């Protein structure tokens, strides 16, 4: 089996896997899992007494509830806060949207701190990078189809470049997601984020990465593998084409007309300068005198 056929098949499979993983991660809401031990907070408030403010926030604020967080939504797999309007996501979980203030005016965001605005800008850029990465993958699909159909090293090279671009863009989106996470955990960007939580809530909460986040990084890795394999396929195709051209050159030798040399045995007359037919009696034809 030719080298190009094997590498193209492997590159196509890895590209499909990468796209599937990135699409699933992008559209699901399990990037972070924030577990809140509400029972222990209630026990603390009952033992200490005078914790009316804590108990009031516990029943009103959404960040006192166990939740998962994605790129677009915050969802509640267990209890959900009664004061927040939620809707059912495609996977039948009660969620509400994350606000990136895209359509908000300056009056809405002018009171935000610099850290809060930096977090918002990084969140917007993160979404934009992922969208551009999917556009690059869409272009790579068409260049890949053309390259496989025509067995064109140029088209396959373009596919490798687009897959590498998609890998870099999605990796940049992941980097910005970590930047948003850092600001939400280490900077003062709002009461619903870690730095401004009640110490009791901090002690009884556990934050961990969830499966959507893991799928996203695996998808980035497979996109890089796909780009490398498409590059290898282009090299194989170019080498196979050069071999075919070298073999064809052997059958393209120029053919020139040649004068045939005849050897005649001694005693036999030489043929006439003008080819036949020949008749007895005259050199020019059968005339009767």
Residue spans of beta strands (DSSP E) within the chain: 32-36, 67-69, 73-76, 87-88, 94-97, 205-209
Which neighbouring-strand residues pair with 95?
Answer: 75, 87
Residue 279 domain flag: no
Q: How many residues does this entry show for the chain?
A: 289
Asked if pLDDT for residue 262 goes beyond 50, the answer is no
Q: Is residue 261 part of a domain?
A: no
Burial (CB count <10 Å: 0-12, 13-18, 19+), residue 253? exposed
Domain count, the chain: 1
Residue 180 lies in a domain: yes
The runs of H, that is alpha helices, within 38-105 are: 38-48, 52-60
Quote the domain boundaries for residue 70.
Answer: 3-101+112-238
Q: Is residue 7 within 8 Å of 234, Cβ to Cβ?
A: no
Residue 244 lies in a domain: no
Whole-number pLDDT of residue 269: 53
Overall average pLDDT of the 147-175 stretch: 92
* pLDDT score for 107: 72
Domain membership of residue 134 (yes or no) is: yes
CATH number of domain containing 63? 1.20.140.150
- Report percent pLDDT > 70 for the chain: 83
Q: What is the mean pLDDT of the segment spanning 28-39?
A: 94
Interval 26-42 mean pLDDT: 94
Tens digits of per-residue pLDDT, 46-76? 888 778 888 888 988 999 999 999 999 999 9
Cα-Cα-Cα-Cα dihedral of 108, 111, 116, 122, to 10°? 40
Q: Please give the model's pTM, rounded to 2 decimal places.
A: 0.80
Distance between CA 271 and CA 105 in Å, rounded? 107
Q: Report yes or no on 258 lying in a domain.
A: no
Instruction: Report the pLDDT averaged over residues 232-245.
Output: 80
């Amino acid at each position: 089996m030719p080298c190009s056929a094997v590498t193209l098949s492997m590159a196509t499979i890895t590209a499909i896997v990468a796209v599937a993983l990135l699409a699933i991660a992008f559209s699901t809401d399990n990037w972070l899992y924030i577990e809140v031990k509400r029972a222990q907070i209630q026990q603390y408030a009952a033992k200490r007494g005078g914790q009316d403010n804590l108990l009031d926030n516990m029943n009103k604020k959404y960040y006192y509830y166990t939740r998962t967080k994605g790129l677009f939504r915050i969802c509640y797999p267990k209890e959900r806060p009664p004061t927040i309007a939620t809707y059912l996501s495609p996977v039948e979980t009660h969620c509400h949207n994350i606000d990136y203030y895209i359509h908000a005016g300056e009056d809405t965001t002018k009171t935000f701190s610099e850290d809060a605005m930096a977090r918002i800008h990084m969140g917007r850029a993160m979404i934009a990078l992922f969208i551009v990465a999917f556009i690059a993958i869409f272009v790579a699909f068409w260049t890949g189809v053309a390259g496989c159909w025509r067995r064109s090293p140029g088209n396959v090279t373009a596919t490798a470049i687009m897959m590498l671009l998609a890998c870099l863009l999605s990796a940049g989106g992941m980097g910005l997601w970590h930047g948003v996470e850092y600001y939400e955990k280490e900077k003062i960007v709002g009461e619903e984020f870690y730095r401004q939580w009640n110490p009791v809530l901090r002690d009884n909460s556990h934050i961990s990465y969830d499966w959507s986040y893991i799928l996203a990084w695996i998808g980035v890795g497979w996109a890089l593998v796909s780009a490398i394999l498409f590059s290898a396929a282009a090299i194989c195709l170019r080498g196979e084409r050069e071999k075919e051209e070298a073999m064809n050159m052997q059958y393209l030798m120029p053919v020139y007309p040649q004068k045939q040399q005849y050897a005649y045995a001694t005693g036999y007359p030489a043929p006439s300068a003008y080819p036949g037919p020949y008749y007895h009696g005259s050199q020019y034809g059968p005339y009767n005198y």
